[in-house]
Amino acid sequence: MDVELLERTAAELVASGKGVLAADESNGTMSNRLAAVGVEPSAETRRSYRSNIFATTGYETAISGVILFDETIRQKMDDGTPIPEYLASRGIHPGIKVDTGAKELANHPGEKITEGLDGLRERCEEYFQMGARFAKWRAVIRIGEGMPSLACLSTNSHALARYASICQEQGLVPIIEPEVLMDGDHDAQSCYDVTASVLKMTWDECKKQGVHLKGVLLKPNMILPGNSCSDRGSREKVAKMTVDCLTENVPSEVPGIVFLSGGQSDEDATAHLNLMNAMDIDHPWELSYSYGRALLARALQTWAQGSSEASQNAFRHRAEMNSLARTGDWREELDT
């Protein structure tokens, strides 16, 4: 394990004012998003859309890394430059999604276990040689009647730790993503309790398996009520509950937390992050972002309408807004 490389990469990914772009949708998910905006999905349209985003000028001040999918890391920019090589030339770390998706958890209807450990060491070795310097693995936790079960929490936390250990062995900073979904009518306290449980179990597994915490990033959900819950709460409540949960359940050695947007609106994702960073609290870790749709939703729509420049402008704007939120300097009037 190259501890120095891992710590340096992790620190650079959560450098001041910067966050991570999640552009790692599977081919099926990305194809569905293209079809939804009227674009015929194919390997070429997926490449063309993403390469247009990556070619945006000036976003290096807000984006430190880009998570890619297996197809994308093997593709090229319009001028023939391999995508990971192009990103690195802009001072942006290429990253890679290494799990193979969430599948049904045996004997637990409605719950999922993320797969992909088989052959992971070899895949990580290949991705490192291709230029990747960090990776991502997403676990999916659903709240409902009798859910999450202990089996769901224990199997997913064990897999996250095994993934993290293998990544570090191969020189990749692992982003650990235990996502408590917004689906359902649960309240914010239920989200808090489940998030706390999965975090505790995940760090316990990481300790058992020798994961170097200074070379890890956490990608958690914020503490939000289910999308069918009548009590939505305020942005301030979301920010406070999230910081409280993380303070109680994230080791101080972890250098950074890069939130997922998890179905929030673009502006909500920015506002919540801004409120957390504006608090008069000295966090032991950086509070940053690893957004996908919250950075790219408008950019995809405008690209589909035929305007590459407008698409890049939309992406750059959202990146700049979230960069401001990293220091608590975002204001609603700026987001026009």
Number of structural domains, the chain? Answer: 1
d(CA 309, CA 199): 41
**Helix (H/G/I), strand (E/B), else coil: 303:** helix
d(CA 240, CA 150): 27
Nearest of 152, 176, 147 to residue 164 by alpha carbon: 176
d(CA 133, CA 124): 10
Where in the sequence is the domain holding 193, given as residue range(s)? 3-334
Task: Give the pLDDT of residue 334.
Answer: 87
Nearest of 215, 198, 328, 233 to residue 275 by alpha carbon: 328
250-266 pLDDT, tens digit per residue, is 999 999 999 999 888 89
Task: Give the pLDDT of residue 291.
Answer: 96
154, 203, 163, 90: CA torsion to nearest 10: 140
190-220 pLDDT, tens digit per residue, is 999 999 999 999 999 999 999 999 999 999 9
Structure tokens at 250: 């994230």
Q: How far is CA 85 from the centre of its chain?
A: 21
Structure tokens at 223: 């503490």
Catalytic residue among 18, 97, 136, 219: 219
Task: Give the pLDDT of residue 290.
Answer: 97
How many other C-beta atoms are found inside a 10 Å radius of the C-beta of residue 43? 12
Q: Are 172 and 127 contacting, i.e. CB atoms less than 8 angstroms apart? A: yes
Which DSSP symbol is given to 215?
G
Ranges of residues in the chain with a pLDDT under 50 are: none
218-233 pLDDT, tens digit per residue, is 999 999 998 888 888 8
Task: Give the pLDDT of residue 233.
Answer: 82
**What pTM, to 2 d.p., does this model score?**
0.96
Q: Is 219 a catalytic residue?
A: yes
Alpha helices by DSSP H, listed for the chain, are: 3-13, 27-36, 43-54, 70-73, 83-89, 120-129, 150-169, 188-208, 235-249, 266-278, 293-304, 308-325
Task: Give the pLDDT of residue 231.
Answer: 84
d(CA 302, CA 56): 14
Q: What CATH code is carried by the domain that includes residue 325?
A: 3.20.20.70
Interior/surface letters 190-206, b for 16+ CB within 10 angstroms, e for the rest:
bbbebbbbbbebbbebb
